[in-house]
């Protein structure tokens, strides 16, 4: 971590040592949240004992790390023991999780403290964080535009300075797109790099737990703690250390990588986003990177293939919500069990979730599988080959996170269907499994615009390294009214 | 600009639907059958909006017909372990008999069962199934 990031981390870590500071911080977060609705649950006072207990007292605790004492919030579709696990749904409004996700437990063992659960589009389905049974999330840059989604609560919590980092989930861009809309960093790790145990499944072959952070180096520190094989997730993978990393990230041969831009596939960019892309390219060149054009010809098929796979898998994964084992049970219990299931699901799910379950059920119907699901999986192969081929010519790919700036609440020219169509830039990394990091580039008309870098599988290090260098040279502007630890300190005297 | 492009994309997918001779419309029966399979009961007030949303997405999916995938293997999972000696996936657990009753009595499982609306002696109560 560079000096500035270390200083910020020390500021946050003071929360552990100073109960009065914690109290002022809690009050400020509550005030911010009353306006932004980023958190569904925030009650650190009722968990005061967690601050008293040094990390070393926890079972299997790691030695003190740079994450020791840092507070974080967790998207409410990721399990944390004794917290709610609503998934932003009426169906699970009263569910309390009996256990903790592996990724969260690893952060807790490193000394970080969960302080709340973040708002989201129901079950992670959406690009605006307006589809939540707990109300929409507000973007701290402009209350009239959406926060992005589905991890909008996580992104806003970080952008507003409530916490330095947050966990989200990224099935088709759900960490990166809100991170870009809120002017913070958002990592979608390689599929398999971080255990998904404790993440409520939406589309199992696409879902990953991701990170929202207020800096690239902090994102790296969080990722390093979370990553690695887990006996509870069969898809998790351990990566043996690579000798190339031994000399420190900036000293590796990747210090001045070649960055590929799939320019011909990026034809429909809003002028502000095109400008941000050009600015980012010139900055990359200024720090010594070479940029080249690469082809990503299958990009136009990414969004339809993604939505076939995502909805098909969602229809199967969400079948478990039957109102019997957990979640709200329909009061119409007079009839048979079937009536109870129908009643609980129909009353519990919101419109967007119902739409996706119905679409997924339709495409998996007998006779349609070759036309939809199988074909989408074959396209997925082509997309992955395309990305691999592009990465043969460069070490990183650069593309916008989203083709338009943060859009207005209510759609602002993008209806629900169009919001799905423009997800292609983020969905590509979920289809292919590659890691991608969204990072802030510029402010246009008062709204943040972000880009994303993609790397070969398990080369997250390259992403943090380049994004960190850009951040050090061109510091990121914070959201208006964002809380900083410095704001809280003067009140002490 | 974007909206124009999106309109073009929608138009072209409609064209390909016509070319395939398949109109992307969902009959009342199809919608009802799909909802039954999905264990959803659709209220009268939501049928038309859900139907419109589904038809629009299905029409968009037809864009996938424009690409030749006949020689391509499907990817069901993006695991990337093959041929890379640096990568070690989670090992399969051993295939051996365990005392499942003991697992059910464990604190974690007990806590999970307690989350259900109605329970009795570690079991979840449901309405009559038969």
Number of structural domains, chain A? Answer: 1
Task: Please check whether residue A371 lies inside any domain of the structure.
Answer: no
User: Among B66, B88, B117, where does a domain finish?
Assistant: B66
Among A236, A358, A431, the residue with its CB nearest the CB of B90 is A236
**What count of CB pairs under 8 Å joins A to B?**
221
Indicate the pLDDT class of residue B3, thresholds 50, 70 and 90. very low
- State the pLDDT at residue A50: 79
Assess whether A205 carries a catalytic annotation. no
Structure tokens at A83: 């917290």
Complex-level ipTM: 0.88
Q: How far is B35 from chain A (nearest CA, A)?
A: 6
Rounded distance between C-alpha atoms, residue A164 and residue A349, angstroms = 32
Task: Please check whether residue B6 lies inside any domain of the structure.
Answer: yes
Assess whether A444 carries a catalytic annotation. no
Place of tokens 């980092």: A165
Contact A188, A246 (CB under 8 A): no
In chain A, residues 80-119 whose CB comes closer than 8 Å to chain B: 95-96, 98-99
- Check A150, A180, A344, A465 and give the catalytic one: A150
Q: Is this structure's pTM higher than 0.90?
A: yes
Assess whether A128 carries a catalytic annotation. no
B53 and B109 assigned to the same domain: no
Sign of the torsion formed by the C-alpha atoms of A104, A105, A106 and A110: positive
Task: Please check whether residue B84 lies inside any domain of the structure.
Answer: no
Asked whether the beta carbons of residue B73 and residue A378 sit closer than 8 angstroms, the reply is yes
Task: Please check whether residue A455 lies inside any domain of the structure.
Answer: yes
Q: What is the CA radius of gyration of chain A?
A: 21
Among A96, A205, A359, the residue with its CB nearest the CB of B78 is A205
* Whether the predicted pLDDT of B21 surpasses 50: no
B8 and B57 assigned to the same domain: yes
Task: Please check whether residue B43 lies inside any domain of the structure.
Answer: yes
- State the pLDDT at residue A284: 98
Asked whether the beta carbons of residue B56 and residue A417 sit closer than 8 angstroms, the reply is yes
Phi, psi dihedrals of residue A450, rounded to the nearest 5°: -120, 160
Number of structural domains, chain B? Answer: 2
Residue predicted with more confidence, B91 or A36 = A36
Q: Look up the domain containing B33 and give its range.
A: 2-66
Task: Please check whether residue B104 lies inside any domain of the structure.
Answer: yes
Phi, psi dihedrals of residue A412, rounded to the nearest 5°: 50, 50
Contact A165, A211 (CB under 8 A): yes
Task: Please check whether residue B89 lies inside any domain of the structure.
Answer: no
Asked whether the beta carbons of residue A342 and residue B39 sit closer than 8 angstroms, the reply is yes
Task: Please check whether residue B37 lies inside any domain of the structure.
Answer: yes
Q: Mean pLDDT check: name the lowest of A102-116, A235-249, A338-352, A355-369.
A: A235-249
Q: Left (φ > 0), alpha (ψ -120 to 50) or beta: where does A161 sit?
A: left
User: Among B66, B82, B113, where does a domain finish?
Assistant: B66
Contact A168, A207 (CB under 8 A): no
Contact A455, A434 (CB under 8 A): yes
Per-residue model confidence as pLDDT tens digits over A270-286:
999 999 999 999 999 99
Task: Please check whether residue A71 lies inside any domain of the structure.
Answer: yes
Per-residue model confidence as pLDDT tens digits over A172-220:
999 999 999 999 999 999 999 999 999 999 999 999 999 999 999 999 9
Among B53, B93, B129, the residue with its CB nearest the CB of A416 is B53
- State the pLDDT at residue A192: 94
Mean pLDDT for all residues in chain A: 91
- State the pLDDT at residue A71: 95
Indicate the pLDDT class of residue A56, thresholds 50, 70 and 90. very low
Q: Look up the domain containing A30 and give its range.
A: 3-297+380-492
Chain B residues lying within 8 Å of A418, measured CB to CB = 3, 6
Task: Please check whether residue A444 lies inside any domain of the structure.
Answer: yes
Task: Please check whether residue B122 lies inside any domain of the structure.
Answer: yes
Residues composing chain A: 493
User: Among B40, B66, B92, where does a domain finish?
Assistant: B66
- State the pLDDT at residue B10: 37
Interface test with A, best of B20, B75, B122 (most A CBs within 10 A): B75
Percent of chain B's residues with pLDDT above 90:
38
In chain A, residues 303-322 whose CB comes closer than 8 Å to chain B: 303-305, 307-308, 311, 315, 319, 322
Among A95, A190, A377, the residue with its CB nearest the CB of B115 is A95
Q: Is A407 on the interface with B (CB under 8 A)?
A: no
Q: Is A150 on the interface with B (CB under 8 A)?
A: no
Average pLDDT estimate for A5-12: 77
Cβ-proximal residues to A413 (8 Å cutoff; 6+ apart), any chain: A407, B2, B3
Between the CA atoms of A166, A168, A173 and A179, what dihedral angle is there, to the nearest 10 degrees?
-20
Residue in B closest to A96 by C-alpha: B115
Write down the H helix ranges in A391-450: 416-421, 424-432
- State the pLDDT at residue B17: 37
Among A304, A340, A433, the residue with its CB nearest the CB of B61 is A304
Task: Please check whether residue B80 lies inside any domain of the structure.
Answer: no
- State the pLDDT at residue A280: 98
Structure tokens at A287: 């720090």
Question: Among candidates A183, A269, A242, A75, which has minimal Cα distance to A446?
Answer: A183
CATH number at residue A180: 3.90.1300.10
Cβ-proximal residues to A460 (8 Å cutoff; 6+ apart), any chain: A187, A189, A190, A193, A220, A223, A227, A435, A437
Chain A residues lying within 8 Å of B82, measured CB to CB = none
Task: Please check whether residue A370 lies inside any domain of the structure.
Answer: no
Task: Please check whether residue A55 lies inside any domain of the structure.
Answer: yes
Task: Please check whether residue A324 lies inside any domain of the structure.
Answer: no
Cis? peptide before A150, omega within 30° of 0: yes
Average pLDDT estimate for A215-238: 94
Interface test with B, best of A237, A309, A341, A454 (most B CBs within 10 A): A237
């Amino acid at each position: 971590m560079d000096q500035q990031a270390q200083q910020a981390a020390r500021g946050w870590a003071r929360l552990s040592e100073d109960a009065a500071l914690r109290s002022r911080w809690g009050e400020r977060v509550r005030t911010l949240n009353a306006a932004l609705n980023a958190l569904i649950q925030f009650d650190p006072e009722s968990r005061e004992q967690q601050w008293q207990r040094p990390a070393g007292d926890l079972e299997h605790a790691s030695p003190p790390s740079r994450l020791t004492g840092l507070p974080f919030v967790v998207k409410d579709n990721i399990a944390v023991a004794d917290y709610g696990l609503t998934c932003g749904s009426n169906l699970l409004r009263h569910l309390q999780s009996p256990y903790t996700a592996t990724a969260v437990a690893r952060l807790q063992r490193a000394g970080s403290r969960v302080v709340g659960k973040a708002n989201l589009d129901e079950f992670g389905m959406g690009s605006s964080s307006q589809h939540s049974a707990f109300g929409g999330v507000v973007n701290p840059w402009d209350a009239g535009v959406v926060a992005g989604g589905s991890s909008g609560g996580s992104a806003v919590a970080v952008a507003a300075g409530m916490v330095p980092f947050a966990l989200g989930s990224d099935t088709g861009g759900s960490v990166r797109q809100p991170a870009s809309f809120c002017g913070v960093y958002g990592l979608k790790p390689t599929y398999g790099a971080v255990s998904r145990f404790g993440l409520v499944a939406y589309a199992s072959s696409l879902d990953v737990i991701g990170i929202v952070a207020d800096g690239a180096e902090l994102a790296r520190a969080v990722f390093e703690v979370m990553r690695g094989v887990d006996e509870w997730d069969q898809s998790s993978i351990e990566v043996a250390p690579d000798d190339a990393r031994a000399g420190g990230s900036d000293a590796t041969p990747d210090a001045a990588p070649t960055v590929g831009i799939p320019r011909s596939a990026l034809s429909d960019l809003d002028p502000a986003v095109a400008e941000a892309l050009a600015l980012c390219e010139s900055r990359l060149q200024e720090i010594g990177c070479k940029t080249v054009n690469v082809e990503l010809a299958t990009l136009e098929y990414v969004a339809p293939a993604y939505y076939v796979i995502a909805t098909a898998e969602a229809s199967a994964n969400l079948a478990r919500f039957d109102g019997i084992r957990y979640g709200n049970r329909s009061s119409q219990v007079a009839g048979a069990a079937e009536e109870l299931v129908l009643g609980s699901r129909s009353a519990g799910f919101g419109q967007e979730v119902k739409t996706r379950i119905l679409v997924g059920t339709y495409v998996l119907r007998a006779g349609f599988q070759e036309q939809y699901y199988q074909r989408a999986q074959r396209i997925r192969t082509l997309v992955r080959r395309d990305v691999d081929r592009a990465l043969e010519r460069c070490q990183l790919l650069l593309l916008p996170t989203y083709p338009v700036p943060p859009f207005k609440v209510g759609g602002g020219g993008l209806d629900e269907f169009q919001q799905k169509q423009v997800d292609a830039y983020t969905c590509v990394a979920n289809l292919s499994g590659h890691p991608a990091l969204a990072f802030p580039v510029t402010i246009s008309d008062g709204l943040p615009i972000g880009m994303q870098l993609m790397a070969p599988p398990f080369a997250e290090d390259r992403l943090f390294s380049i994004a960190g260098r850009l951040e050090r040279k061109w510091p990121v502007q914070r959201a208006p009214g964002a809380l900083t630890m410095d704001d809280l300190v003067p009140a002490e005297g | 600009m974007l909206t124009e492009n999106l309109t073009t994309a929608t138009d072209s997918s409609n064209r390909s639907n016509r070319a395939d001779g398949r109109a992307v419309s969902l009959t009342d029966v199809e919608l009802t059958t799909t909802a039954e399979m999905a264990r959803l009961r659709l209220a009268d007030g939501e049928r038309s909006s859900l139907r419109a949303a589904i038809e629009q997405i299905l029409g968009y999916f037809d864009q996938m017909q424009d690409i030749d995938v006949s020689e391509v293997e499907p990817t069901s999972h993006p695991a990337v372990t093959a041929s890379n000696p640096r990568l070690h996936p989670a090992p399969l657990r051993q295939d051996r008999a365990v005392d499942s009753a003991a697992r059910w009595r464990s604190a974690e499982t007990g806590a999970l069962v307690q989350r259900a609306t109605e329970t009795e002696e570690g079991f979840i109560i449901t309405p009559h199934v038969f």
